[in-house]
Amino acid sequence: MKILPPFFEFSTLLAASFTLIGFAPSLIAQDDPDDVDPFTVIDTPPVVIKTNGALFEEGRIEKLTEKSLPSLVTITHSSREGKVRGTGTGFIISADGLIATNLHVIGDSRPIQVELHDGSTYGAVAVHAWDRRADIAILKIEAKQKLQALEIGDSDKIKQGQAIVAFGNPRGLQFSVVNGVISAIRKLEDDFTIEGGTPDFPMIQVAIPIEMGNSGGPIVDLDGKVLGIVTIKSLVTPNLGFATPVNILKSMIDKPNPVPMKSWLTIGNLDPNQWQPIMGGEWKQHAGVITIDAYGSGFGGRTLCLSERSVPKLPYDVKVKVKLDDESGAAGLAFASNGDEVHYGFYPSNGQLRLTRFEGPDIYSWKILKQVESDAYRPGEWNQIRARIDKDKISCFVNGQLVFEVNDDRLRGGKVGLCRFRKPTAHFEAFQVGSDLAEKPVAKELMSELSKQINTFSRNGGDRRKVAAALASHVVPSRKLLSQKAAELESRALELRKLTDIMNETDIQQKLLKILALEENQINLLEAGLLIAKLANVELDIDGYLLEFKRLAAAARQTLSEEFSDQEKVERLGRFLFQESGFHGSRGEYYHRSNSFLNEVLDDREGIPITLSVVYIELARLLDIPHVYGIPLPGHFVVGYRPTKKQLQMFDTFEAGKVISQKEAADLVMGITGQALDPRSLEPASKRSIVIRMLSNLINVEINSDDPTKSLPYFDLLLAIEPDRAPEHFERSRVRFQADDRDGAIADLQWMVDNEPAGVNIGMIRQLLERLQ
């Protein structure tokens, strides 16, 4: 038995092979920004320095406070009922009315009020710029007077132990001041999150007390220059917090993505053509999941979200997947609703399944018809609940299992939808209403064959990819059987779940290959991109997003006149997307994987050049605007419009649809790659090549993440589309080895030996292969 080479030696040999054949992993296309992360983590343990008078000259804080207070503001946003729901801090960054704060301070889709230091109040007229993953927003107000702005400093030059002063509105106490020091600059662990999750960039750790209401306030140096924006409070100690570096704000000031308030009030909201929330609450939708976290105005915190879908004649089914953040809550299905306080509800409550008839505003008009415990219900997880409504009977199911039937015909007709009670946050996805939504029984012969394959694999193991390919032709029953088998054989659960993952990946591969086999003008790039995103989120509702995109196209169509020329339609589409709907380039965390997932690009209206271009191209297709296509500039994808052979226009979707000339495109490419623009890069990109480039972006994101093995599904999909790409075979072999998949690594290297791609040093590949075998 041969001893395997250590991973670093394997990587070194592969790198040498890349060099000898003239390839490099960096040649895999990706969209690079003009600069890199400007911050460097100080790799030292946390330092908390007690502040004392020696750090500050006598009277300096008072003078600094007097100078800075006129530039501070209090920001509030309202609930649906018009009551103040949140308060935070902001600061003036321009005399003409730009205010910087945290995104979480302004709240999604809510009217925003800004109170100046002199007590005057203004409504925000626009969100001038915003970045969800950096948790920063810039508001625009139309003040009657010239405003006093704080000077922006340079967060690249801050030093550990540097004295600072912070301003804010802690717990509603307006315009408070506290002094402290910079403890460190560090990346945060997963248990620290901001609006967009755990930040990928280093944060400024500050030794000052942080309270509710401080968020969005500035930290300044002793010259009054802003170094950061207070963002997170430490849960460990009250005298520690974190601020977002101000240089991220600078990039947003330089390249804003303004959204008028009338458009901002729609971001994250449910489509009113689909859903009607009643009895308060704050219903949101993101990545296909509907979430309710605010207390409803009905008795017991009741709130409903009623679907505008038509309800079939009796009998009919209504079902949804639901997950509670805390089992003390209650949330599920509402049906036979009169549009107000009369309806049925079927929902988990305190770990039990309950059916209730609601006939009024309070508990005296409610009747619990049935409440039981069920082994089929999984606390803390996603559970599918279904109610079948017949003429005189209601049947209730959880995860496909009948839990009870109740004879009751008091309420019929009306609307169906979702309900939530009490405070804990609830999440819903895959809501459906139809004549029959029960899982269709699978033929006994098929179930027997699938079970046989799964049982053979669970006993003896084997080639996961081969078994997954066989199961993928019947993905729904196979997934159910695999899940059951995993529960029965916990000792082999990991292998079975890996098999499930590979089966799902195989299913996605087959569907994407089927799409790419169509004629070019029939390929739906949006659907292809959503399939890529589904690799990371198997529950992603592709049909739901396709429907949502059609509604976006319908809204865009309303802005087009029949008298418009194609040129005018192209220009109007750009204004609709970037000026009115808020789509924008991601500046704070360009390399975040969410920028490559089209479902999240649609939800957050934020992406990188290629994903924003796909949105533009697909909208143009649905609007019947001809001659719009992708242009694969190296490092920066753009949209092209060529009405005639000699007339080419290019739109930079990352820069709000800015029109760029060929010279500007050449300068852009030179700035990113250091290479001259090849005229062939101005030719239209095929939709297949766009899909390959999107996958390459995700490969590079994951290769450079904490877990490079997460890139493997994207490698597998890319090579399923184009199996003869030598650089990807090289790189996948390295990652497979890192994932303890020696057989997979050998297979990629063997492919190199068998196919001998041009320029490859086959001798070195054979040498490496011999060491692995």
Helix, coil or strand: residue 155: helix
The position carrying tokens 């946390």 is 46
Q: What is the DSSP letter of 297?
A: S
How far apart are alpha carbons 497 and 482 in whole angstroms? 8
Q: Cβ atoms within 10 A of the Cβ of 262, count?
A: 10
Q: Residue 400 phi/psi, 5° resolution?
A: 80, -5
Neighbouring-strand partners of residue 330: 349, 421
Joined together, the tokens standing for residue 268 give 């994250």
Q: Strand pairing of 241-245 and 225-233?
A: antiparallel
The residues, ordered by sequence, that sit 6+ positions from 366 with a Cβ below 8 Å of its Cβ are 356, 357, 358, 359, 360
How far apart are alpha carbons 155 and 171 in whole angstroms? 27
Helix, coil or strand: residue 764: helix
How far apart are alpha carbons 688 and 773 in whole angstroms? 35
The residues, ordered by sequence, that sit 6+ positions from 436 with a Cβ below 8 Å of its Cβ are 317
How far apart are alpha carbons 628 and 173 in whole angstroms? 54
SS3 readout for 513-542: HHHHCCCHHHCCHHHHHHHHHHCCCCCCCH
Which whole-number Å values give the CA distances from 743 to 125, 254, 302, 735, 738, in the listed order?
A: 60, 50, 56, 12, 12
Active site residue 215: yes
How far apart are alpha carbons 552 and 620 in whole angstroms? 11
Residue tagged active-site, from 32, 131, 135, 741: 135
* CA torsion, ordered 762, 763, 766, 768, to nearest 10 deg: -110
How far apart are alpha carbons 487 and 677 in whole angstroms? 56
How far apart are alpha carbons 167 and 90 in whole angstroms? 9
* DSSP state letters, 36-78: --------S--------GGGS-TTHHHHHHHHHGGGEEEEEEE
Sign of CA dihedral 152, 157, 163, 166: positive
User: Which element (helix H / strand E) includes 471?
Assistant: helix 464-471
The position carrying tokens 């008091």 is 410
Residue tagged active-site, from 17, 68, 183, 215: 215
The residues, ordered by sequence, that sit 6+ positions from 680 with a Cβ below 8 Å of its Cβ are none
To 10 degrees, what angle do helices 7-21 and 726-738 make? Answer: 170
How far apart are alpha carbons 501 and 484 in whole angstroms? 15
How far apart are alpha carbons 394 and 344 in whole angstroms? 10
Q: Cβ atoms within 10 A of the Cβ of 326, count?
A: 12
Residue tagged active-site, from 32, 71, 104, 200: 104
Q: Is-contact 333 345, C-beta < 8 A?
A: yes
User: Which element (helix H / strand E) includes 606?
Assistant: strand 606-607
Residues 266-276 as b/e (b if ≥16 CB within 10 A, e otherwise) read bbbbbeeebbb
Q: Cβ atoms within 10 A of the Cβ of 665, count?
A: 20
The residues, ordered by sequence, that sit 6+ positions from 663 with a Cβ below 8 Å of its Cβ are none
How far apart are alpha carbons 610 and 690 in whole angstroms? 8
How far apart are alpha carbons 195 and 238 in whole angstroms? 21
Active site residue 392: no
The candidate with the shortest Cα–Cα distance to 297, out of 110, 80, 444, is 80
Q: Is-contact 300 422, C-beta < 8 A?
A: yes
Active site residue 729: no
Q: What is the DSSP letter of 580?
A: I
Q: Which residues are catalytic?
A: 104, 135, 215
